[in-house]
A and B are shown apart, each in its own frame.
Chain A
Amino acid sequence: MVTYLVRRSLLMIPTLLGITLMVFMLLALAPGGIGASMQAAGGQGNTTGIAQQQAYLEDRYGLSDPVIVQYAKWLSSISPIKFGTRDLRMQSGERVSVPRPIPAPSLPQVFPPPAMPSVVFTPSTDESQIAEFKALQRDAEGTRRTYVGSVRLFRDALADVARAVGAPLVGRLDGKGGAKANEFADVLTVLDAAQAQAAQDAVVGTSASSNIDATHKPDASAATVRVAQLAQARAKLFDAAKSMDTKWALAEETRQRATIAFMAGPYPKSGFPVIPNLVSLDTSDFGVAFSKNRPVWDLIIEALPVTLLINLIAFPISYLIAVPTGVIASVRRGSWFDLLTGVLYLSLYSIPTVLAGVFAIGFLANNQYLGLFPVSGLHDTTADTMAFLPSTNAAGVYKCGWLLDVMWHIALPVLCLTYGSFAILSKQTRASMLDNLSADYVRTAKAKGVARNDVVVRHVFRNSLLPLITMFVGIFPAMLGGSVVVERIFSVPGMGSLVLDAISNNDRDLILADVLMIAAVNVFALLLADILYAVADPRVSYE
């Protein structure tokens, strides 16, 4: 049994990796790629600023990396085994990583690569150390941001040149209208040629030489304008390149300072070293949801209890109603009870949740009709001030208390979650019971003199448990995943809403964390089911 459990647990790892990889690839396949939602809506404000902002965000979340690199980075951040320099952990529990290296601008041939600034810096060791580190961190982030923006400007300038020069270069523009920095040399070559051609055209166009056919004679005035245009574009390009180099040098210098300050250890180190400076163990980092700019883990911790609360009420209700009904229906097969519950449950099952939710709000919650329940949300606005249990205060005014308030609010969501599940659960129970009611051992039990009800409860029901366990496994992940439809209809801030937001924003880290969690719960539920099988049926053994 233990061997089996260990083997199954180990098999979970590749399964989970496979699932997340697939989801990652699907994210990348979405139109615009993983960073699509980060693109500015456009139209408003100054486009250069938006482009720079976008470039900064892409740099910050690594969105411009190839998909497989992004996935590897995500894996290493969620992996409890960390390589390289250990993070520091602030008092607030937030983690600080070593400042990321900055890719140098590569402008070979034309501009010599800028010299790597060498920094000599001694961080302070007294109480100002943390403040100093924070300032350096901020500086590093700021200079890096400026640099990334300048790279974007340079690429725009490059694209302008390409457009000015004409067709051969336009084809090389990337999806965002920029050009790749390492094509600088190529662009320059073409630009040189174009400038020479334009200059020549200007000269030829003005000369009155008769050996050129008038129809082929270049237009001198247009050529002159073009010469000026190209010169301007060239100047802009060189300005952008120079600016990029300077900003890189500044950013790199600040980064080195920040790195030195980081190494001095203003905060205690996070995690547990396995091989010093190489391998360490640390908690998983699920990253930051870039659509909400908050750590993913915080979002999940907020949403999960809400979903758990609703489902831990809804699922026992469905089981407690559906299973006994199924048992009774099987024992009194063909009776009015069997028929009635069958018809009732199947008609409930046929009502779409969306419709039921809308009707529930429209009739049960709407003040124009019954107005019995709140329309949405999980608490009253004054819930914070409520006592837990119902009470009457000194003036004799009845207060419903926090518990009843929550129950009142989740009544409709729970109703919508449960009504549809009766049909499947009770039919499954009934079918499974019927299978066993005609079994030979039931006849044996009756021949022993076991009373009819005892036969049903002790002998038949126990044998009918296996399909119910399978069903339980099916709904268990939904319990944590939340119901997207119900949560959305009743504005419940649970896991379902969170997942839906994440998907509509194409929020990489949030989607991945959700997927990972649901997949892990699924895999664990399957394992749990296998264990339960062995408990329920002695013929199942994992030795």
Chain B
Amino acid sequence: MADIHASVQARAAGQLLTKPVLEVADLAVSFDNASNPGAPRIQAVAGVSMSVFPQQTLAVVGESGCGKSVTALSTMQLVPSPPGRVDRGTILLEGTDLLSLTEQQMLSVRGGRVAMIFQEPMTSLNPVYTIGDQILEAILLHQKVTVEEAIERAINSLETVGIYNRLKERFKSDAMALKRGKSELLDEYPHRFSGGMRQRVMIAMALVCQPTVLLADEPTTALDVTIQAQILELLRDLQRSRGMAIMLITHNLGVVAENADVVCVMYGGRVVEYAQVFELFDRPMHPYTRGLFSSIPGLQHRLRRLTTVEEVTGNPAEFRKLPGAERGVIPWWPGLPKEARPPLESEREPYCLHEIQPGRWIGCWRTPELAAQGSRRPELDYRRDS
């Protein structure tokens, strides 16, 4: 808790402890409506802002289709185009706008400075190449090293993700056999690995070039709970030892509570709440966030049934709980009835991200007052102490 206050105060005083490594500002991405060409484009991301600091884990949560993955893929410029298109916004990686880079320049960013791991470890590795080939490919693309050095690095990288733990137990006393076993493992094909092992290989591959930002798109969704915990633990360790920033995309709030420093809740292609993790869990402010939390089954409460998200967001009274509600600071929600909405500054852009208190951003209806205040990109230089 001390940390966040220090951070907030420092920021209030106009000085940041560190600069964010990745900043997304007002990003909007839309897709062609393939099934109905006359229809308007599908707005997957409609003005998203967030920032990630070194060694920080930013958790992006939200239901399917809320734009989490598209945000991450836009960062890598991997949104297939067509049908996808970046409408506006900037994505700054250490000050460089990634969206303005050429494809050639992006090649060195992808896998080099920004790496990404995906949800499906079972299908994310190419089945016809050995894991050694696939890791070496990443190394040789980004680093000027000989093949021998690259192999060395690949082995080290697999070492860090704990692929060799089993092997080490087996060849405790035999160093030569262990060494041979390590390089033999590089010649194995992905189908010979379990899901957890494959995800470790994926992580090793992503981290082998020492990226500054790791985009983890639901890295543990397809894994069972034990492996999930191991993988997250591993990511946390690597983050600490390398000072790497992680954007952790998930819809598992348990994972968020355990691992995140800062949480960005998204809905409908927009950020609805952006806060430090403990504050968010202690005091969710946006009705959608409250709805999400109330729908988590818990053992401590005896409930006849769980509250659904719709029950919370469907109740206009829930939207009047923000401080400043009387001034028209009403949480943005596309399903809110017209009469419950405050008068907007313009019908075309109904949303703005409002810093309701230091270090706390809520997506609000864009009233003339809030529009006049302007909106600042959310950034929270906070890391949980551990």
Contact residues of A with B, CB < 8 Å?
A: 439-441, 443-452, 459, 462-463, 536-539
- In the complex, the answer to whether A538 meets B76 with C-beta atoms within 8 Å is no
- In the complex, the answer to whether A441 meets B137 with C-beta atoms within 8 Å is no
**A451: nearest residue on chain B (CB-CB)?**
B107
- In the complex, the answer to whether B109 meets A449 with C-beta atoms within 8 Å is yes
Residues on B with C-beta less than 8 A from A443 are 78, 118, 124
| B9 contacts the other chain (CB 8 A) | no
Chain B 104-130: CB-based contact to A (< 8 A → 1; otherwise 0): 000111111001101010011111111
Interface size (B, Cβ < 8 Å)?
A: 30
| B42 contacts the other chain (CB 8 A) | no
Min Cβ gap B140→A in Å is: 10
Residues on A with C-beta less than 8 A from B191 are 538-539
- In the complex, the answer to whether A445 meets B141 with C-beta atoms within 8 Å is no
Residues on B with C-beta less than 8 A from A445 are 126, 137
- In the complex, the answer to whether A444 meets B110 with C-beta atoms within 8 Å is no
Given A440-B124, A448-B115, 9 more A-B residue pairs with CB atoms under 8 Å apart are A441-B125, A441-B127, A446-B78, A447-B118, A449-B107, A450-B137, A459-B126, A538-B128, A538-B191
CB within 8 Å for A449 and B138 given contacts A444-B202, A538-B189, A539-B191: yes
- In the complex, the answer to whether A441 meets B126 with C-beta atoms within 8 Å is yes
Min Cβ gap A337→B in Å is: 16
CB within 8 Å for A449 and B123 given contacts A444-B202, A539-B189, A539-B191: no
- In the complex, the answer to whether A537 meets B120 with C-beta atoms within 8 Å is no
- In the complex, the answer to whether A447 meets B76 with C-beta atoms within 8 Å is yes
**A439: nearest residue on chain B (CB-CB)?**
B123
Which of B103, B110, B127, B189 is close to A448, meaning CB atoms less than 8 Å apart? B110
| B320 contacts the other chain (CB 8 A) | no
Residues on B with C-beta less than 8 A from A536 are 128
**B72: nearest residue on chain A (CB-CB)?**
A447
Residues on B with C-beta less than 8 A from A449 are 107-112, 138, 141-142
Residues on B with C-beta less than 8 A from A444 are 118, 124-126, 202, 205
7 cross-chain pairs, A with B, having the tightest CB-CB distances, nearest first: A449-B111, A448-B111, A449-B110, A440-B123, A441-B126, A447-B116, A538-B189
CA distance in complex: A445, B308 (Å): 39
- In the complex, the answer to whether B127 meets A538 with C-beta atoms within 8 Å is yes
Residues on A with C-beta less than 8 A from B111 are 447-450
- In the complex, the answer to whether A463 meets B109 with C-beta atoms within 8 Å is no
| A–B pairs, 24, beta carbons within 8 Å | A440-B123, A441-B123, A444-B126, A445-B137, A446-B78, A446-B110, A447-B78, A447-B118, A447-B206, A448-B115, A448-B205, A449-B107, A449-B108, A450-B107, A450-B111, A459-B126, A459-B129, A463-B126, A463-B127, A463-B128, A536-B128, A537-B127, A538-B127, A538-B189
CA distance in complex: A538, B118 (Å): 23
Min Cβ gap A531→B in Å is: 16
**A438: nearest residue on chain B (CB-CB)?**
B80
Contact residues of B with A, CB < 8 Å?
A: 76, 78, 103, 107-112, 115-116, 118, 120, 123-130, 137-138, 141-142, 189, 191, 202, 205-206
Residues on A with C-beta less than 8 A from B76 are 446-447
**B215: nearest residue on chain A (CB-CB)?**
A447
CB within 8 Å for A440 and B118 given contacts A447-B76, A447-B78, A536-B128: yes
**B112: nearest residue on chain A (CB-CB)?**
A449
Min Cβ gap B179→A in Å is: 24
- In the complex, the answer to whether B137 meets A448 with C-beta atoms within 8 Å is yes
Residues on A with C-beta less than 8 A from B124 are 440-441, 443-444
Residues on B with C-beta less than 8 A from A539 are 127, 189, 191
Which of A440, A446, A447 is close to B120, meaning CB atoms less than 8 Å apart? A440
**B130: nearest residue on chain A (CB-CB)?**
A538
CA distance in complex: A218, B33 (Å): 105
Residues on B with C-beta less than 8 A from A538 are 127-128, 130, 189, 191
CA distance in complex: A37, B78 (Å): 70
- In the complex, the answer to whether A448 meets B128 with C-beta atoms within 8 Å is no
Min Cβ gap A437→B in Å is: 10
Residues on A with C-beta less than 8 A from B127 are 441, 463, 537-539
Residues on A with C-beta less than 8 A from B103 are 452
CA distance in complex: A463, B76 (Å): 24
Residues on B with C-beta less than 8 A from A441 are 123-127
**A463: nearest residue on chain B (CB-CB)?**
B128
CA distance in complex: A439, B115 (Å): 18
CA distance in complex: A537, B112 (Å): 29
Residues on A with C-beta less than 8 A from B142 are 449
Residues on A with C-beta less than 8 A from B78 are 443, 446-447
**B128: nearest residue on chain A (CB-CB)?**
A462
- In the complex, the answer to whether B110 meets A447 with C-beta atoms within 8 Å is yes
Residues on B with C-beta less than 8 A from A447 are 76, 78, 110-111, 115-116, 118, 206
CA distance in complex: A439, B103 (Å): 21
Min Cβ gap B89→A in Å is: 20
**A448: nearest residue on chain B (CB-CB)?**
B111
CA distance in complex: A440, B118 (Å): 8
CA distance in complex: A539, B192 (Å): 9
- In the complex, the answer to whether B141 meets A448 with C-beta atoms within 8 Å is yes
**B108: nearest residue on chain A (CB-CB)?**
A449
**Which one of B103, B128, B205 has the highest number of Cβ atoms from chain A below 10 Å of its Cβ?**
B128
**B120: nearest residue on chain A (CB-CB)?**
A440
**Which one of A441, A459, A462 has the highest number of Cβ atoms from chain B below 10 Å of its Cβ?**
A441
Min Cβ gap B136→A in Å is: 11
**B82: nearest residue on chain A (CB-CB)?**
A334
CA distance in complex: A447, B126 (Å): 13
**A440: nearest residue on chain B (CB-CB)?**
B123
CA distance in complex: A536, B128 (Å): 7
Min Cβ gap B98→A in Å is: 13
CA distance in complex: A447, B191 (Å): 21
**A462: nearest residue on chain B (CB-CB)?**
B128
CA distance in complex: A440, B78 (Å): 12
CB within 8 Å for A537 and B126 given contacts A447-B76, A447-B111, A447-B115: no
**Which one of B112, B125, B127, B202 has the highest number of Cβ atoms from chain A below 10 Å of its Cβ?**
B127
**B138: nearest residue on chain A (CB-CB)?**
A448
**Which one of A439, A440, A450, A459 has the highest number of Cβ atoms from chain B below 10 Å of its Cβ?**
A440
Min Cβ gap B156→A in Å is: 18
**B135: nearest residue on chain A (CB-CB)?**
A448
**Which one of A439, A449, A539 has the highest number of Cβ atoms from chain B below 10 Å of its Cβ?**
A449
